[in-house]
Amino acid sequence: MSKQKVILVACGAGIATSTVVCQKVEDLLKANNISARVIQCKISEVPGYEDDADLLVSTTIASRTYKIPVVKAINYLTNVNTQKIDQAILDVLKA
């Protein structure tokens, strides 16, 4: 059995927008029967988690590059083209 995936959900302050995105990611995981741990954090906290994470889902522009794939999830807030984000997340998790 493969290890559980870890997904970071980050926004600038780690409060408002990441809460919305967190819920969407959790719903997506449930709908696709994917077991993963979702960690909500500030973008500034990502470096402390990235060694253990598989994916970063962010609503803010990353100020640096990370060792893990990054999916920009601003569309989850606008509800435009959300399937694209869903697919990008699933592609990373199923790889």
Q: Which domain, by its residues, includes 40? A: 5-94
Provide the residue type at 37 as one letter: R
What is the number of helices (H) and of strands (E) in the chain? Answer: 4, 4
Active site amino acids: 11
pLDDT at residue 94 greater than cutoff 90: no
* pLDDT for residue 3: 74
Output phi, psi for 38, to 5 deg. -105, 125
pLDDT band at 14 (very low <50, low <70, confident <90, very high): low
**Residue 39's CATH number:** 3.40.50.2300
Residue 73: name the closest of 15, 8, 5 by CA. 8
For the segment 3-13, the average pLDDT, to the nearest whole number, is 89
For 46-86, the pLDDT digits (tens) are 999 999 999 999 988 777 889 999 999 989 989 999 999 99
Residue 85: name the closest of 45, 25, 4 by CA. 25
Q: How many domains does the chain have?
A: 1
- Check residue 6 and report its DSSP letter: E
